[in-house]
Structure 1
Amino acid sequence: MFKRIILPIAVLLLAMIGLGLLVTKVFAHTWPFTVEDGVDRGFAGERTGGWSAVSLFFSTLASTPVIIAVTAAVAVVLRLVLKRWREPLFLCAAVCAQAVVFFFTTLFIDRSRPDVPKMDESPPTSSFPSGHTSAAFALYVGLALVLALQVRRTWLKVICWSLVLVPVAVALARLYRGMHHPSDVTASFVNGAICITVMARAILDRAVRWALPSRRPPRAQASRPTTPSAAA
């Protein structure tokens, strides 16, 4: 468990913190980070009633309560339908791992929200990375992977992988609503993707054995019948 899960997630956390420091400290005044505010202003200038409603839907779809509820519900359904633990545990582990990386990264990276009118209340966490985006990526892309592995027909696999569009829509919604910079959501794609990869290799891989090797006591040697010694 340490080598397959804890160590890779710890390395990912350090990498995310390092990436955040590069974005906010080292390359803050270097292209393309210098044009990020222009991107956010562009989204803010194109706001309409219809698109605002769409952005609210996808932003809510990746909110913490919805992510928790959907993950729990899907995990229960997968357990009941597939009658095994690998798939539901994989999905829950991927979502939890990205949340851990996101939370501890925000403790080290202090980045302000974009300087545009915001359509949501700003949570007390840093703008880097986007928690909504990484949670949506881990949940919906992780679910796409699980479902795609269960079907054989190509058109069904395409339908399953269409869930990838959900975190993309969430990322655009967060930009549209003025809550994140483009690099915030990009880093969240990295976070979610690596958490899915780590958990897939540790949990979904059938070659990985979960059961501990049995420690059966050695068989007692059958006692050999003793032959009475011949009388002298």
Structure 2
Amino acid sequence: MVDLERWANDTSAPDLGLRVGIPAVVWWVIVVGLGFLLAGPLAGLKEREDAVNEWLVEQRTATLNTLTEVWSAMGTTETIIGICLVVSGVVWWRTGQWWYAAVPAIAVAVQAAVFMLAALVVSAERPEVEQLDHAPPTSSFPSGHSGASVALYLSLALMAQQIERTWLRVSVTVVLLVLPLLVVCSRLYRGMHYPSDVVIGVLNGLVCVVIGWYWLRRAPRA
């Protein structure tokens, strides 16, 4: 289980190389391996994924187009970085613990590094359907929007467990957990990714949340 109180008595020093760098490299190798696996031995899955993307195109309506445009924007680089900087700044100011405030930034940064380098190596094509968004220069695998939204909003949801008022804590947590789901659905609906792209993107975000949350070596005060 995730230790939500791990910074309460922190006396340890950060170790980015051991706790962030090495796990990130290992995870990147795994992501690249999954990408080559989907492009090689499991390439037959693309036909089934094409059917999913084509079915989603058939479900498009003007209302859903507008809604998914807003949802997709919650996972853009500008939105993620902006929210991350603001929240990290507020948390640092309120707690005086910069190492705690840095958790979302570390999760997002590692996710972005793994995503961009994996996309560069795997270089997967996007679905052959009408795409409602401008395709970024990166490849389809893995989904950067999905990974970034999971990395940020899940990190913030873990932080939100420190909120004392129950109704507020629950409300904030639910919203933060729903946002990545909306981003994932919007990327599929708008024809920007195959299902496997968003699945690996979500996994990328989850792993990077763990890396960000456990980036300190614990040395509890006696």
TM bucket normalised to smaller:
0.7 to 0.9
Match of 1:5 in 2: 20
- 1:33-52 superposed matches below 5 A: 33-52=46-65
TM-score, with structure 2 as normaliser: 0.87
TM-score, with structure 1 as normaliser: 0.83
Structure 2 residue corresponding to 1:159, chosen from 165, 168, 171? 171
After superposition, the CA RMSD in angstroms is 1.6
Given the alignment of the two structures, is residue 119 of structure 1 paired with residue 127 of structure 2, yes or no?
A: no
Inter-partner Cα distance in structure 1 for 2:206 and 2:50: 26
Is the partner of 2:104 in helix, strand or coil?
Answer: helix
- 1:211-226 superposed matches below 5 A: none
Match of 1:213 in 2: none
Match of 2:120 in 1: 107
Is the partner of 2:102 in helix, strand or coil?
Answer: helix
Where structure 2 has 5 or more consecutive residues not aligned to the other structure, the ranges are: 1-14
Is the partner of 1:113 in helix, strand or coil?
Answer: coil
Given the alignment of the two structures, is residue 188 of structure 1 paired with residue 201 of structure 2, yes or no?
A: yes
- Return the offset for 1:198: 1.2
Inter-partner Cα distance in structure 1 for 2:145 and 2:106: 17
In the TM superposition, what whole-angstrom CA distance separates every residue of 1:38-58 from its partner, at most 9, and x where no partner exists? 111111111111111110001
Given the alignment of the two structures, is residue 28 of structure 1 paired with residue 43 of structure 2, yes or no?
A: yes
Match of 2:11 in 1: none
Is the partner of 1:62 in helix, strand or coil?
Answer: coil
Inter-partner Cα distance in structure 2 for 1:49 and 1:34: 27
Q: Larger relative contact order (C-alpha < 8 A, sep ≥ 6)? A: 2
Question: Given residue 31 of structure 2, which amino acid in structure 1 is its aligned partner?
Answer: M
In the TM superposition, what whole-angstrom CA distance separates every residue of 1:117-176 from its partner, at most 9, and x where no partner exists? 11011111110001111011111111001111x135654443233111111110100001
Structure 2 residue corresponding to 1:62, chosen from 75, 86, 92? 75
Inter-partner Cα distance in structure 1 for 2:110 and 2:71: 22
Inter-partner Cα distance in structure 1 for 2:67 and 2:84: 22
Question: Given residue 29 of structure 2, which amino acid in structure 1 is its aligned partner?
Answer: L
Percent identical among aligned pairs is 35
Which structure's CA Rg is the greater one?
1
Q: How many residues align?
A: 204
